[in-house]
Amino acid sequence: MYIKIISFNLSSNSIDNITVIGAGTMGHGIAQAFATSGFNVNLVDVSNQVLNTAFSRINDNLNKKVNENKFSSDIATSILNRITLFSNLQESVKRSDFVIEAIIENLDAKINVLRLADQNSPAHTIFASNTSALPITLMAESLTNKDKFIGFHWFNPPPDRELLEIIKCKYTSNEVIDMALDIVKKLNRRALMINSDIRGFIANRVYRAMRYEAILMFSQNIATVDEIDSAFRYKIGWRGPFELIDYAGAIDLEITESNGFDEVRRKLPDWEPDDDYVLYRKHALNVLQTYYDKGWFGVKAGKGFYEYPGPGKWVRPTVSEEDSNNVNPMDVLSPAINLSASLIHEKISNVEDIDLSIKIGYVVPRGILELADDFGIDNIVKILEQKKEYSTSQEYSNFYTPHPLLLKMIDNSETGKKSGKGFYNYS
């Protein structure tokens, strides 16, 4: 009998060659970040045009850093020289130690690509996905060795974001986790370790609840796009939810990701345990679908919630400060705070990690739970109760039911900064 012996040398020194599959919005940035930290990178895409654009975007990004005196032009050249473009996946993975896929947000497409990569990679290769919200577990199951798969979630734009969410699924081995954490260290970044394969992980799970609330408020004529974005920009210093939807290409990303949603949930109920969140999301996505159907994908299409000078030509949307008077950002954030309470209660995450993921991932000055403490937990609950009452005829109204953890905090007089204790301790 022939026994295949796989020698696993998992020290980070053994990880030199990276393949990034998909060279779009995220893939080209991930390739740049790896190459900047000294890794050799193969960047592969099905589209030659995407590859050419990716290369010139990386070149432009590096030149910008040279102009900002971040490094010399010699270093920029050596970073660029560490990146090789491929249009053939099988070739690109042949000598890879670590393969990360960043293709479109579609589970079947990801599984097909990972299978092909697995069949053509050396036995020691580790595989990862940059998915925003698809199950890591089902992707792991597509590999010969399920334990060699891990979620490795970057924020946009990858070269400038210091945090990565590292997601373990039930198959991921401890060795692979250690190796992923070593890679994060070598990338000079921080890792937020997540021990459950839950939809959206931490940052997106929480952030998207806020995004959906903004969309629902807009669709119900409670506030305009400009008013909500203005309130975020001028009152709490966050990028507005709508400008970020356009910038990140979230319209087609979320719609594409929805394909097969119910089937995935049937296979893996723990991945999305919250029925009310599912209904809430469905209604928000119905609104996004109308934009999707018109091809208004945001910056990449030249039009989304705002208009841009042309496809791919980003200029920051102008919103008047006056518009901010009409919206309290906490109205938009309260459902996400409620959801955070459930993540804390279920021990899926904790106060510090939730705030860290939002602060670094979305580059905002204060975390969502810090803001909750400033505003008062009792006031958050009042908003939730009002929203629940306002939406009683909607099938998602239970999403606004204040979480028992928030009610307990009020009972214990832990209403935030004003009482000396809330999510954080102030005494």
Ligand X SMILES: NC(=O)c1ccc[n+]([C@@H]2O[C@H](COP(=O)([O-])OP(=O)(O)OC[C@H]3O[C@@H](n4cnc5c(N)ncnc54)[C@H](O)[C@@H]3O)[C@@H](O)[C@H]2O)c1
Looking at 59-148, which runs of residues are DSSP E strands? 83-86, 98-101, 126-129
Whether residue 48 contacts residue 23, with contact meaning beta carbons closer than 8 Å, is answered with no
For tokens 């589970």, what's the residue? Answer: 107
CA gap 127, 101 in Å, rounded? 8
131 binds ligand X (CB under 6 A): yes
CA gap 78, 94 in Å, rounded? 23
Amino acid (one-letter) located at 227:
E
Contacts of ligand X in 169-198 (CB under 6 A): none
Q: Which of 17, 19, 25, 32 binds ligand X (CB under 6 A)?
A: 25
Q: Which of 101, 105, 165, 257 is catalytic?
A: 165
Instruction: Candidates 91-99, 137-145, 171-179, 248-256: pick the segment binding ligand X (CB under 6 A).
Output: 248-256
345 as an active site residue: the answer is no
Q: Which of 249, 329, 335, 422 binds ligand X (CB under 6 A)?
A: 249
132 as an active site residue: the answer is yes
For the record, the structure tokens of 379 come out as 């006031």
Which CB atom, from 205 or from 403, has the smaller least distance to ligand X? 205
Instruction: Candidates 9-17, 105-113, 388-396, 404-412: pick the segment binding ligand X (CB under 6 A).
Output: 105-113
Tell me the per-residue interface mask from 210 to 229 with ligand X, x by CB under 6 A, - otherwise. Answer: --------------------
Q: Which of 17, 121, 129, 132 is catalytic?
A: 132
Q: Which of 96, 121, 132, 391 binds ligand X (CB under 6 A)?
A: 132
Q: Which of 121, 142, 145, 153 is catalytic?
A: 153
Helix (H, G, I), strand (E, B) or coil at 332: helix
Q: How far is the CB of 21 from ligand X (least distance, A)?
A: 5
Instruction: Candidates 126-134, 218-226, 309-317, 321-329: pick the segment binding ligand X (CB under 6 A).
Output: 126-134
23 binds ligand X (CB under 6 A): yes
Q: Which of 101, 371, 368, 363 is nearest to 248 (CA)?
A: 363
CA gap 34, 129 in Å, rounded? 15
Q: Which of 253, 327, 333, 377 binds ligand X (CB under 6 A)?
A: 253
Helix (H, G, I), strand (E, B) or coil at 41: strand
CA gap 245, 301 in Å, rounded? 12
204 as an active site residue: the answer is yes
Number of residues that bind ligand X (CB under 6 A): 27
130 binds ligand X (CB under 6 A): yes
Which CB atom, from 156 or from 289, has the smaller least distance to ligand X? 156
248 binds ligand X (CB under 6 A): yes
Q: How far is the CB of 3 from ligand X (least distance, A)?
A: 33
CA gap 288, 294 in Å, rounded? 10
CA gap 133, 208 in Å, rounded? 11
Helix (H, G, I), strand (E, B) or coil at 227: helix
Q: Which of 15, 20, 26, 99 binds ligand X (CB under 6 A)?
A: 26
Element spanning 108, H or E: helix 107-120
The b/e string for 272-281 (b: 16+ C-beta within 10 A; e otherwise) is bebebbbebb
Could you please report the per-residue DSSP string of 333-358?
HHHHHHHHHHHHHTTSS-HHHHHHHH
Q: How far is the CB of 25 from ligand X (least distance, A)?
A: 4
Q: Which of 368, 371, 384, 376 is nearest to 413 (CA)?
A: 376
Which CB atom, from 301 or from 341, has the smaller least distance to ligand X? 301
Task: Please enumerate in sequence order all residues whose Cβ is within 8 A of that of 174, keeping only pairs 6 or more positions apart, or say none.
Answer: none
Residue nearest ligand X by beta-carbon distance: 24
22 binds ligand X (CB under 6 A): yes
Instruction: Candidates 129-137, 302-310, 388-396, 408-416: pick the segment binding ligand X (CB under 6 A).
Output: 129-137
Tell me the per-residue interface mask from 85 to 104 with ligand X, x by CB under 6 A, - otherwise. Answer: ----x------------xxx
**Cis peptide leading into 157, omega within 30 of 0?**
yes
CA gap 332, 308 in Å, rounded? 25
Q: How far is the CB of 421 from ligand X (least distance, A)?
A: 34
Task: Please enumerate in sequence order all residues whose Cβ is within 8 A of that of 370, keeping only pairs 6 or more positions apart, or say none.
Answer: 355, 423, 424
Contacts of ligand X in 32-71 (CB under 6 A): 44-47, 50
Which CB atom, from 117 or from 236, has the smaller least distance to ligand X? 117
165 as an active site residue: the answer is yes
β-pairing verdict for 149-154 and 163-167: antiparallel
In the complex, the residues that contact ligand X under the rule CB under 6 A are: 21-27, 44-47, 50, 89, 102-105, 109, 113, 130-132, 154, 156, 248-249, 253
Catalogue the active-site residues: 132, 153, 165, 204
